[in-house]
Structure 1
Amino acid sequence: MIESCLRSEKHVRGVLIAGLAICLSVSNGLASTVKPQHNASAQGQPKPNIVIMVADDWGFTDLGAFGGEIATPNLDALARRGVRFSNFHTAASCSPTRSMLLTGVESHRAGIGNLRESTPRAHFSSPAYQGSLSQRVVTVSSLLKDNGYRTYITGKWNVGSEPHNLPPQRGFDRSIVQGDTGSDNWDPQQRYLPHTDKVYWYEDGRTAVLPAKFYSSEYFVDRMIGYLDQDKGSAKPFLAYVGFQANHVPLQAPAEFIAKYKGRYNQGWTALREARRDSAARLGLVPQNTPLATLPTTLVWTAQDAQAQQYQARRMEVYAAMAEAMDHHVGRLVTHLKAAGQFENTVFLFLSDNGAEGSDYDLAQLWLKTQYSQDIDRLGGPGAYSIQGPSWASASASPLNGFKFFAGEGGIRSPMFMAGPGIQNTQGIYAGLTHVTDIAPTLLDMAGIARPSQNYKGQPIEAMAGHSLLPALQGHNAPLRQADEILGYELSGNAALFKGAFKLVKNLAPLGDGQWRLYDVVADPGETRDLQKQWPAEFASMQKDYQIWADAHGVLPVPSDYNPVMQVTINMILDYWLPTFGLWIAAGWLVPLAGWVWWRRSRRRT
């Protein structure tokens, strides 16, 4: 009976809350028609080393060099040495962004149109929503390795755990990676949500054995330094990709970093949001007096009682400490490269995979209470669980609108910079529209490697969609995209289309109503002034452009009752809890049902 009921998602939605409480208790063949725009090697320059640093869930102004108050001196020094991109876009969640970063191919065409956990079940049959890299894409790591690079990755992977999708088959010589969306930062085996049976770690493609206790940012840098040291005698250049968990939930940091921020956030999220907006404007990253949108998910700070304010302030203290701890370990990697004489010939790339995390995971509270403490005095430490929440997330995204999972600028405009040999821009900031698909072709151009357009080692592949950023990195401030060129986007029903200064966008609840809006995100990056009535022709034509783009990229509409948080729970039950604990779940429903039947029959006999 239970199995037949659970075949219907609508039934799952109807019984979810009651059932959840019961469940939780128990370079051969390479062909190319695209030439590198700039070939450093052809000009007698050595190929550069490349370090990619991916932060997890950082807001636009979390980084000091982007206007934030968090101490990130090592990243700031690199950013100010190179070029900061103030109009750089990703997807609004981790897996789609990482697929585009690695391949230069739009996420639906790369097979990861959505995070697997939040994908509607009706989409699973589509090649655009497999939740892992398509075999029709080639990674930049594979291309670099084919052309003489040593390649290493440590940290979060999250683009597929099938044997053909693990790092060794995707161009990495050495790897220690987490295959999941995240985990505890102190205990590598502790899940942050009960959507799998364990945390999956892989070293060089095999199940990894990790220390019982660690701190994620420190461990990932330690392992990367170890890989570099093992091959320090090699004359080959290297690619080093570090996928940090900071600042993915649960928010955790060493006590000495947390102590630095005590009392720093006692004025609340609205004051912080305004201060960051003003700081980013002074740096030239956004226009002066950029208006701030009012988010429906942001609470009124002054309406919170003293105890609630204290607890919320502590959450942000832990968030800031986690970011500073990551920066500290970035500094260790930089120091190591300087000592090894590799710093001057290394290109550094930093980005966040999406905007700040505003989800609250309320549906998992029953499970979390059995796994973690949420006491204020323990937040940030081992065994404790904290989140940033939607109100602080709006401040991390300041002055942008929205946060992770949504198509507002706060969800998809991320901090990014590049620094290293040959990178110079007199202004230090590039304001033109750029995208995560631009990174792979840029790195290939830096290494003097042609990008494949139709074929890789005898297999047909998707062509890279992005533009090389080299002109912007070498001081040219003209737009990389033509005024009439479109850039489309979709994730979980939240969608956007960029064209020149215009952005067409729609968001689902709770940040939107599913209706299209039109903004000038150059003058109004906070998306506060809807221009559809002032520009009706553009508003109509861009909707047509979006539909053409969506059809070409295999975008599917979400169900009318779709809710991403609820979908995560549905998928968790159907993909993990039911197959693993089916008998216990059935008993959880059948025992009360049998009791009710017995009671009804007893009453009739009486």
Structure 2
Amino acid sequence: MFAALLLHTSLGQSEEAIVEPEQVPVASARPNILLVLADDLGFSDLGSYGSEINTPTLDALAQEGVRFTNYHTAANCAPARAMLLTGVDAHLAGVPNIPEMLAPEQQRHSHYQGVLGSNVVTVATLLEGAGYHTYMAGKWHLGVGDGQLPSQRGFQRTIALADSGADNWEQRPYIPLYEKANWYADGKEYQLPDDFYSSRFLVDKAIEFIDSNLDDGQPFFAYLPFQAVHIPVQAPQEFIDRYMGVYDGGWDELREQRLARAVELGIVPAGIDMVQMSTTGDWDALDAGQRRYEAKRMAVYGAMVEAMDFHLGRLFHYLKARGQYENTIVIFTSDNGAEASGPADPDSLVARRGPEALGYNTDYESLGLKGSYNTISPSFASAAASPLAYYKFYAGEGGMRVPLIVAGAGLPGQGELNHAFSFVTDITPTILSLTGVAAPEGRFGGRPVEPMIGRDLKPLLKQEVTRVYGAEDAVGYELAGHAALFQGDYKLLSIRPPLGDGQWRLYDIVRDPGETIDLAAEQPVRLQRMLSAYAVYARDNKVLANPPGYDHMKQLVINTLYQRLQTPVLVGLLTALILLPFLVAYRARRKVQ
């Protein structure tokens, strides 16, 4: 254990890792694995993917390894995390949607509980059994009941946020569904420190866990799921200052700039088109005060991304000082695309009322700081996903295609781009392959378990093959009625109303990642073949239909009211009052169509 781990400023951003130089352990023959997960990070939110945001740590990692440009995940958090950690489709793993948005009709089924089932095994459990130390610091959101916390799913040391999100400056819930922000340390309820800022704190904990056993020569698996950039979007002032004025040109200008940069970097092909989302507002129609406020909302977003990158850099510095970095494989990705739940007019009375009822303010001067509730609207979320269509929750490329960077011990890639299709269920099989650990076959721990469906990406990383999915291999996906199927270079897609029309469309997402040209009429044979493949996927993975009139935001409101009405009526009525502005803002967004 080294004597002085970190130095803090009052905001916790100018610290440097301090390491005792005489204590450098011998690296294990097996590689350490560091799995880093951003929350709601858009496809082009990193410098190495076309962003204006300063992300030197991750950009350097990209130059050391491989950037995947055609990697897909689930379009919201809990299903993505379930597949990431198990290699099993989210429906069979028990997490077809976040529990907060599941309808009662669906929750009658055992695999529609929104919590990780006992019929799957986490990569942490398998690595622990193979002699790895296993650690987690960050957002869990896969269950809090008996046997569901990460400390009971293979992680030896944990600090975990059980909820879908929370404040980044203090222990405070961000939506009325939660009475408090539910943090756990090694399976027990935990009180956050007074100087908490999420990205700094989680890296501190990751360093503490890794350092606690480093001298015994055993390798480690560390899972670091950040809160950044989930709402509320918050960052220290010194980072916000760097982005003031950067977004004064608006979301359309930003979307075009990112496209141009992504083409220059080779992330997307030249000459592609982008769709104009119906939820994107008219920047020029805003008055000067509105443009000023919108630009700062996005400035805080950029600042939060950079703060995450800064603190990840401290972890890398620690690993290098302790002689572990060269023997560590780092995997960085995001759980889904950018979040677009921010109201189009955040300065309106109804948009302010919800955050204020929870004790937050939305004032311009303090935006992003402690006590502030900040979000970005669908307009800037579309820019964060540039040049892709849609964003979080929707099965368009902007909701599902995110960055994936893999670099480290024994991997030859040096700044390589990989354009092969890959999916979130591939991460666990890849980690097992890189560490020489076998996947369970049929049974584990005395019980039957679901087989992993993901593919091992190591042959891609080793540059031994050009793709791991053949032209006829089909990968299906569904979330609350939004559906997709990937096969070769093509994608079958259906988006439910109000943003879509529920019709099936066909896209070549290699040549048209912006999903601008529907090929359904031009290629009817391919369309029918992929529709048949989707029907097989839905049957095999027990996909349930939505109840009539289902809407994910409406269901969130209903579930919150139901939970609160278990307490006295007065509390339920107060909750309804708190939720009303959120519902009004969502309905206003629907009217944009």
Fold shared, TM-score > 0.5 on shorter chain = yes
Whether 1:424 and 2:406 are equivalent positions in the alignment is: no
Structure 2 counterpart of 1:369? 356
Aligned partner (choices 503, 509, 529) of residue 517 of structure 2: 529
Q: Which amino acid aligns with 1:462?
A: E
Match of 2:222 in 1: 240
Displacement of 1:427 after TM fit?
A: 6.5
Name the CA distance, whole Å, in 2 between partners of 1:267 and 1:373: 26
Deviations 1:342-386 (A, max 9, x none): 000000010010000011369885331221110111101000011
Q: Secondary structure of 1:274's partner?
A: helix
- Which residue does the alignment assign to 1:290? 272
Whether the aligned pair in 1 keeps the contact of 2:507 and 2:515 (CA below 8 Å) is yes
The gaps in structure 2 that reach 5 residues or longer are 1-26, 577-593
Write the letter of the residue equivalent to 2:537: W
For 1:338 and 1:442, the matched residues in 2 are separated by 24
Superposed displacement of residue 477, structure 1: 4.6
Structure 1 SS opposite 2:553: helix
Give the match for residue 567 of structure 2: 580
Q: Match for residue 31 of structure 2?
A: 48
Q: Give unmatched runs, 5+ long, in structure 1.
A: 1-43, 590-606
Find the counterpart in structure 2 of residue 495 from structure 1. 483
Corresponding residue number in structure 1 for 2:579: none
Distance in 2 between residues matched to 1:119 and 1:213, nearest whole Å: 35
Q: Could you tell me how far apart the structure 1 residues matched to 2:131 and 2:213 are? A: 14
Give, in whole Å, the separation in 1 of the partners of 2:535 and 2:301. Answer: 39
Give the corresponding residue for 2:249: 267
Tell me if structure 1 keeps the 8 A contact 2:64–2:413.
no
Q: Indicate the residue corresponding to 1:191 in structure 2.
A: 173
Secondary structure of the structure 2 residue equivalent to 1:531: coil
Q: Is the 8 A contact 2:143 2:162 kept in 1?
A: yes
Query: Residue 165 of structure 1 aligns to a residue in which SS?
Result: coil
Worse-matched range after superposition: 553-562 or 397-406: 553-562
1:158 to 129, 141, 146: 141
| Residue 557 (structure 2) aligned to one of 569, 586, 599 | 569
Match of 2:591 in 1: none
Structure 1 segment 172-211 matched on structure 2, within 5 A: 172-187=155-170, 189-211=171-193
Provide the residue aligned with 1:253 in structure 2.
235
Cα distance in structure 2, aligned partners of 1:425 and 1:475: 8
Paired residues of 2:407 and 2:413 also in contact (CA < 8 A): no
Looking at structure 2, the residues matched to 74 and 229 of structure 1 have their Cα atoms a distance apart, in angstroms, of: 21
> Cα distance, 1:45 vs. partner?
8.6
* Alignment equivalent of 1:560, drawn from 527, 539, 548: 548
> Do the aligned partners of residues 75 and 279 (structure 1) sit closer, same or farther apart at CA in structure 2, a change above 3 Å counting?
same
Match of 1:462 in 2: 450
Hey, what's the Cα distance between the residues in 1 that align with 2:149 and 2:509?
38
Tell whether 2:439 aligns with 1:451. Answer: yes
Distance between the aligned counterparts of 2:415 and 2:292, measured in 1? 41
TM-score between both structures, scaled by the size of structure 2: 0.89
Residues in 2 aligned to 1:374 and 1:50: alpha-carbon distance in whole angstroms: 40
2:307 matched residue in structure 1: 325
Figure out how many residues of one structure are paired with residues of the other and give that number.
544
Deviations 1:206-241 (A, max 9, x none): 111221341000000011111122212121000111
Residues 425 and 472, structure 1, Cα contact 8 Å, conserved in 2? no
Give TM-score scaled by structure 1 length. Answer: 0.88
SS in structure 1 of the partner of residue 566 of structure 2: helix
Shift of 1:61: 0.4
Equivalent residue number for residue 467 of structure 2:
479
Instruction: State how far apart, in whole Å, the 2-side matches of 1:140 and 1:585 are.
Output: 40
Decide which of 77, 82, 99 is 1:99's aligned counterpart. Answer: 82
Structure 1 counterpart of 2:154? 171
Corresponding residue of 1:510 = 498
**Cα deviation 1:402-423 (Å, max 9, x = unaligned):** 0000000000001111000121
1:4-15 alignment, distance < 5 Å: none
CA distance in 1, matches of 2:435, 2:55: 29
Q: Taking structure 1 as reference, are residues 588 and 181 closer, same or farther at Cα in structure 2, changes over 3 Å only?
A: closer
- After superposition, give the CA deviation of every residue in 1:3-24 in whole Å (9 maximum; x if it has no partner): xxxxxxxxxxxxxxxxxxxxxx
Q: 1:328–1:45: structure 2 CA closer, same or farther, 3 Å change rule?
A: closer
Give distance in 1, aligned partners of 2:281 and 2:320: 46
Q: Which residue of 2 aligns with 1:31?
A: none
Give me the whole-angstrom Cα distance separating, in 2, the residues matched to 1:587 and 1:241.
38
Judge conservation of contact 1:108–1:129 (CA < 8 Å) in 2. Answer: yes
Q: Distance in 2 between matches of 1:364 and 1:146?
A: 49
Report what 2:68 is aligned to.
85
* Cα distance change on mapping 1:262 and 1:453 into 2, 3 Å: same
Q: Percent identity?
A: 46
Q: CA deviation at 1:587?
A: 11
State the distance in 2 between where 1:588 and 1:147 align: 48
Coordinate RMSD, CA, aligned: 1.7
Residue in structure 1 matched with residue 260 of structure 2 by the alignment: 278
Distance 1:45 1:253 in 2: 37
